[in-house]
Amino acid sequence: MDTQVAIVGAGPAGLVLSHLLDRQGIDCVVLENRSRAYVESRIRAGVLEYSTVELLCALGLGDRLMRERMVHHGLELLFEGTAHRIPLSELTGGKTITIYGQHELVKDLIKARLDKGGDILFDISDVAVYGLDERRPTVRFGHRGAAHELRADFIAGCDGFHGVCRQSIPLGVLRSLERVYPFSWLGILAQAPPSSAELVYARHDRGFALHSMRNAEVTRLYLQVAPDESLERWPDQRIWGELRTRLARDADWELTTGPVLEKGITPMRSFVAEPMQYKRLFLAGDAAHIVPATGAKGLNLAVADVTALAAGLTAWYSTGRTDLLDSYTTTCLQRVWRVQHFSWWMTSMLHKLSDNAFDEQLQLSQLRYVTSSATAATSLAENYVGFPYAFD
Does the protein bind ligand FAD through residue 118 (CB under 6 A)? Answer: no
In the sheet that holds 82-86, the strands lie side by side as 82-86, 75-79, 199-203, 209-215, 218-225, 175-190, 260-274, 289-290
300 binds, among ligand PHB, ligand FAD, none (CB under 5 to 8 A by kind): ligand FAD
- Compute the distance between CA of residue 343 and CA of residue 349 in angstroms, rounded to an integer: 10
Angle subtended at Cα 113 by Cα 111 and Cα 116, rounded to the nearest 5 degrees:
105
- Compute the distance between CA of residue 122 and CA of residue 90 in angstroms, rounded to an integer: 43
**Closest separation between CB of residue 372 and ligand FAD, Å?**
26
C-alpha distances (whole Å) from 112 to each of 51, 117, 275, 379 are 20, 9, 32, 36
Does the protein bind ligand FAD through residue 45 (CB under 6 A)? Answer: yes
Q: Specify the residue, 29 or 313, whose C-beta has the smaller distance to ligand FAD.
A: 29
**Closest separation between CB of residue 8 and ligand FAD, Å?**
5
In the region spanning residues 171 to 190, those forming contacts with ligand FAD, defined by CB under 6 A, are 187
Binding site for ligand PHB (CB under 6 A): 45-47, 199, 210, 212, 220, 293-294, 296
Does the protein bind ligand FAD through residue 198 (CB under 6 A)? Answer: no
Does the protein bind ligand FAD through residue 302 (CB under 6 A)? Answer: yes
Does the protein bind ligand FAD through residue 199 (CB under 6 A)? Answer: no
Does the protein bind ligand FAD through residue 300 (CB under 6 A)? Answer: yes
Cα pseudo-dihedral 309, 313, 319, 325, rounded to 10: 50
**Closest separation between CB of residue 148 and ligand FAD, Å?**
13
- Compute the distance between CA of residue 197 and CA of residue 362 in angstroms, rounded to an integer: 29
Q: Specify the residue, 54 or 360, whose C-beta has the smaller distance to ligand FAD.
A: 54
Whether cis (ω within 30° of 0) applies to the bond prior to 137 is no
Stretch that binds ligand FAD, among 12-20, 110-118, 270-278, 383-391 (CB under 6 A): 12-20
The one among 3, 33, 168, 307 contacting ligand FAD by CB under 6 A: 33
- Compute the distance between CA of residue 283 and CA of residue 10 in angstroms, rounded to an integer: 14
299 binds, among ligand PHB, ligand FAD, none (CB under 5 to 8 A by kind): ligand FAD
* The residue type at 248: A
Q: Which of 238, 332, 321 is closest to 283 using CA atoms?
A: 332
Q: Specify the residue, 110 or 311, whose C-beta has the smaller distance to ligand FAD.
A: 110
220 binds, among ligand PHB, ligand FAD, none (CB under 5 to 8 A by kind): ligand PHB
Q: Specify the residue, 70 or 372, whose C-beta has the smaller distance to ligand FAD.
A: 70
DSSP tag of 226:
-
33 binds, among ligand FAD, ligand PHB, none (CB under 5 to 8 A by kind): ligand FAD
**Closest separation between CB of residue 175 and ligand PHB, Å?**
27
**Closest separation between CB of residue 52 and ligand FAD, Å?**
8
In the sheet that holds 47-48, the strands lie side by side as 47-48, 97-99, 70-72
Q: Do 7 and 14 touch, CB atoms closer than 8 A?
A: yes
In b/e form, how buried is each residue of 27-57, taking b as 16+ CB within 10 angstroms?
Answer: ebbbbbbeebeebbeebbbbbbbbbbbbbbe
The one among 23, 24, 34, 121 contacting ligand FAD by CB under 6 A: 34
Does the protein bind ligand FAD through residue 386 (CB under 6 A)? Answer: no
Does the protein bind ligand FAD through residue 127 (CB under 6 A)? Answer: yes
Per the DSSP assignment, residues forming a β-bridge with 29 are 6, 119
294 binds, among ligand FAD, ligand PHB, none (CB under 5 to 8 A by kind): ligand PHB
In the region spanning residues 146 to 165, those forming contacts with ligand FAD, defined by CB under 6 A, are 158-160, 163-164
**Closest separation between CB of residue 276 and ligand PHB, Å?**
24
Go through the chain and tell me how many residues it has: 392
Interface mask toward ligand FAD for 360-379; x: CB under 6 A: --------------------
Q: How many CB atoms lie within 10 A of CB 26?
A: 21
Residue closest to ligand PHB (Cβ): 46
Helices of type H across the chain:
12-23, 36-41, 50-58, 63-68, 88-91, 102-115, 236-247, 298-319, 323-326, 328-350, 357-370, 374-385
| Contacts to ligand FAD by CB under 6 A | 8-14, 31-34, 39, 44-47, 102, 127, 158-160, 163-164, 187, 266, 285-286, 293, 296-300, 302
